[in-house]
Structure 1
């Protein structure tokens, strides 16, 4: 069966009767994305613009500002992703991002419940807790509801990602996820070696951020369509660009006496260059296929 691309969503009452595999993005999925976008935009703005006033304006006091910038950088990629979900014409263009959102939001919920005493008693905190108590479950429910919508067909034009490149990206993602999980599970140990000063809470937030690329990249193990990853790699490039700028802007927060610091900074720079080059290469191959 080939994907239908008429740009319209069926009415909610017809969803159960319409055959699956039409590559639709349900209206409910779009509206959830629209609802999430303002919160991501506001959070990113507050963290970037007022990193030293997070205790007053954000959900908890974050120090040093570089930790606030790292979380904001993840939100930058999230803004692009959910903007594309809200406007996507095909489900397979965005489907692989949903598990990453579930893992990220779920990890932040666990971190919040573990460190409730660190949070401020303000509107930002109550907004934070409501969002992270609901988002992992809502997004997971949408992914399950849409699971049969992808017919497995490629766009026209599209390009297939070669096996060796997919294997390398899966390995990179698995390494990032494993490292992020270790930081999340053992935040106390992470505070001793990380590239800048962390608390147990900001260590777990850092681990959650590192997990994102791992969950996204694992889907490359079975899906070879560039069209299924274009939006996600665009989002990752934006996040990496924001991290690079953050490391430059807050370079005084870095602890250069720690062995991990030059390694982390180098890896971020290399990852940014490689991800941008890979995205440009895939886009060029797609245009040539057309």
Structure 2
């Protein structure tokens, strides 16, 4: 078994839904469009990080860690889901935000309200960049060690990518069960673990006719591919297997749907968000998934994607940010 020697806990009780988006597909001219509903999970309002947490927290427990440190901006999906997973496991957790603390009480519609409900401690290190935040987390971990604790700093990209190697396996099984001749898979591309784990799994277990479409929400290609290659190589070493197909085989990377930049909206982003809500009753976040749907729509309308070949879009979650007004 692929993961038999790797520590893992179970946070997903069953496969996520694979639903046909017939009305949305009809509207944009695609006859076989499916959505992999990673936004619908039982834990913490769902999202792609749940899959990574199965392996991150599995490693933490194997190492005997008694407290988990996770870092991100206040609306971070990773932070919210880490807190929820630690509550389920009865494991102490601290969330570190690279933002200024608020002087107001947590209220509904505020991410702090969710952490307050879960009883998780939040620490603010000020509006610093990721490198300074990383240094702060490491200092906090050392403080905890000095107090006799055994902290686990969450976020190793290779360990996290294992979650989407598993997701690829799940998707291919579902497609076979539903008799879908899957030819295209779309997912957002950011720092790498989710999309490279998925790509690794599809290249390991899928056929050579499968195309993977990565819609960038953060980096240009020249920045993204070195990050991706490092994670890919790490997966080869960790799983002791090399996919027969290469990282960039039938892989398409799109920078043109990034818009003004990471977490910055474009008119096309909101058009895609509204269109999916009005045709399927499914909501999207604007940082990641709405840009993927906008890209897919544009590719179909320009004739750059065969509209009769089955395509799956991964909806990786993040919808709570729409309600928090923090995107």
Q: TM-score normalised to the size of structure 2?
A: 0.26
Q: Comparing both structures, which one devotes a greater share of its residues to strand?
A: 2
Q: Comparing both structures, which one devotes a greater share of its residues to helix?
A: 1
Q: TM-score normalised to the size of structure 1?
A: 0.28
